[in-house]
Amino acid sequence: MKLEGTNTLAAPIETVWKMINDPDALRRCTPGLKELKEIEPDHYEATLNVGIAAVKGTYKGTLTISDKRAPSHYMLVLEGSGGTGFMKGVGLVDLEPQGEGTLLKWTGDMQIGGLIAGVGQRMLGGVGKMLIGQFFKCLEQHLGEDV
Amino acid sequence: MKPAAFEYHAPDTVEEALGLLEAHGDQAKVLAGGQSLVPLMNMRLARPAVIVDINRIHALDHLTPDGDALRVGALCRQRSAERSAIVAARCPLLHAALQLVGHVQIRNRGTVVGSLAHADPAAELTAVLAALGGTVTAVGPDGTRTIPADEFFVSYLTTSLDPRELLTEARFPTLPEDAGWSWMEIARRHGDFALAGVGVVLAVRRGRIAEARIGLTGVGPTPMRAVRTERALAGRAPADALWTEAADAVREEIDPEGDIHASAEYRRHVAGVLTRRALAEACARTAKAA
């Protein structure tokens, strides 16, 4: 399942770059994140409780940031599994200055398997997009606060 | 296929049910027909700690005309509504859509209001409520409130209902006597959730469209009204060319997602085709009524 989108953030590219690398910002803005433990720089252990309405699952896994080209590009790999299924997602984030602000482009390729994929197929794409949208909206709200 | 352990309550009154919901908050789920909730629990995709079974609250088992609306209580089964002469006569769009909700066995247990509360993005009844501009009634710790359809449906399986609130009924506005209607949907197999569906109400007076309502399902996170298309139809003379124009307008207005069952492009295309056919059918029915 491939997803993509763009967000315009009202802050200079350096500020946005710092924020998307800041464990506190990731912790605060990742929907359903219960725990994010830094194992080593750019490598985290994560526990997420994600889903919609009463259909929620707990996933344990890792989050790795690599291919960094400050301040404009990185790759994010998320792998996790839980009682209702497993997921593996690779996301590419690209930043470019746009006037006073920053244009953030993301593309993601997600594989979701197990029970949740079999039953929830109809809604996975839409829900995935919605959660990623929440993530960036949250980043936007916290921009310039304490980065 | 057995649910995770849960605590079971079967209150006899709305007040008792509200007390339980207040005590347990989002740990509790209300059970009415259970045709969506129970499968989710059996697959352990949902693990509510507490079930509040409202089936003994007989006061909620009603289906009554009230002025220009039909009041459907939270325990009214989909099959009862489908077989009701009042629904067929006063709210034929609801009658038509009900016949395509799951299968008979599901409709025998499933409730009209339960389907609205579950808010599946491809459900029929949510789109009917949206098309007709209906409301739902919720009671909670702060009293009773009436929520219009467009404020009730928030996203996939998500409504603006508070976990401490109970939906007690839905109000479906009845159709003007001269209005035509049509429900059309495409599903891969009979009884499946629709890939796309549309409900239309059309009133033509003195050769002009006096009222057009178009509600769609399966083409977004919530049921939606094609408001811009409705506005574009108002005041125009009914014609086949106009229905084709409306089909294109609906395709512009929606932003469906694709999945393994149907791509976004296909859903967009089908929603247009269904809109065109539904408008033509609704228009033919207005002529008959006039």
Handedness of CA B218, B220, B222, B223 (dihedral sign): negative
Q: Per the CB < 8 Å rule, is B37 touching A83?
A: no
Question: What is the reported pTM?
Answer: 0.89
Q: Per the CB < 8 Å rule, is B221 touching A126?
A: yes
Contact status of A121 with chain B (Cβ, < 8 Å): yes
Q: Per the CB < 8 Å rule, is A122 touching B261?
A: yes
Q: Which residues in chain B touch residue A57, judged by CB atoms under 8 angstroms apart?
A: 45
Question: Mean pLDDT by 10-residue block, N- to C-terminus, for chain B (290 residues)?
Answer: 95 98 95 96 93 98 97 98 97 98 97 97 97 97 96 95 97 95 95 95 96 97 96 97 98 92 95 98 80
Instruction: Tell me if residue B2 falls in helix, strand or coil.
Output: coil
Q: Which of residues 96-115 of A touch B (CB under 8 A)?
A: 115
Number of A/B CB contacts below 8 angstroms equals 55
Percent of chain A with pLDDT over 90: 35
Does the ipTM surpass 0.90?
no
How many Å is the maximal CA-CA distance in chain A?
46
For residue A147, the model assigns a pLDDT of 43
Q: Per the CB < 8 Å rule, is B121 touching A83?
A: no
The domain limits of chain A are 2-142
CATH class of the structural domain A2-142? alpha beta
Å between B155 CA and nearest CA of chain A: 9
For residue A123, the model assigns a pLDDT of 87
Q: Which residues of B touch A (CB under 8 A)?
A: 29, 37, 40, 43-46, 48, 119, 121-122, 155-158, 193, 220-221, 257-261
Which tens digits make up the pLDDT trace of A61-71?
A: 999 999 999 99
Q: Per the CB < 8 Å rule, is B156 touching A126?
A: yes
Which tens digits make up the pLDDT trace of A76-87?
A: 998 999 888 898
R_g over Cα of chain A: 15
Which tens digits make up the pLDDT trace of A86-101?
A: 988 899 999 999 998 9
Q: Per the CB < 8 Å rule, is B259 touching A83?
A: no
Q: H/E element holding A103?
A: strand A101-113
Q: Per the CB < 8 Å rule, is A54 touching B261?
A: no
Q: H/E element holding A112?
A: strand A101-113
Phi, psi of A139 (to 5 degrees): -55, -45
Q: Per the CB < 8 Å rule, is B261 touching A121?
A: yes
Contact status of A5 with chain B (Cβ, < 8 Å): no
For residue A93, the model assigns a pLDDT of 93
Mutate to test the interface with A, among B45, B50, B51 (most CBs of A within 10 A): B45
Q: Is B170 left (phi over 0), alpha (psi -120 to 50) or beta?
A: beta
Instruction: Tell me if residue B6 falls in helix, strand or coil.
Output: coil
For residue A142, the model assigns a pLDDT of 80
For residue B251, the model assigns a pLDDT of 98
Which tens digits make up the pLDDT trace of B245-268?
A: 999 999 999 999 888 889 999 999
Nearest to B221 among A84, A119, A130 (CB): A130
Contact status of A4 with chain B (Cβ, < 8 Å): no
pLDDT digit of tens for each residue in chain A (147 aa)? Answer: 788 888 888 899 999 999 999 888 888 888 889 999 999 989 999 998 888 888 888 899 999 999 999 999 999 998 999 888 898 889 999 999 999 899 999 998 888 888 888 888 888 888 888 888 888 888 888 875 644
- Separation between Cα atoms, residue B259 and residue B249, nearest integer Å: 23
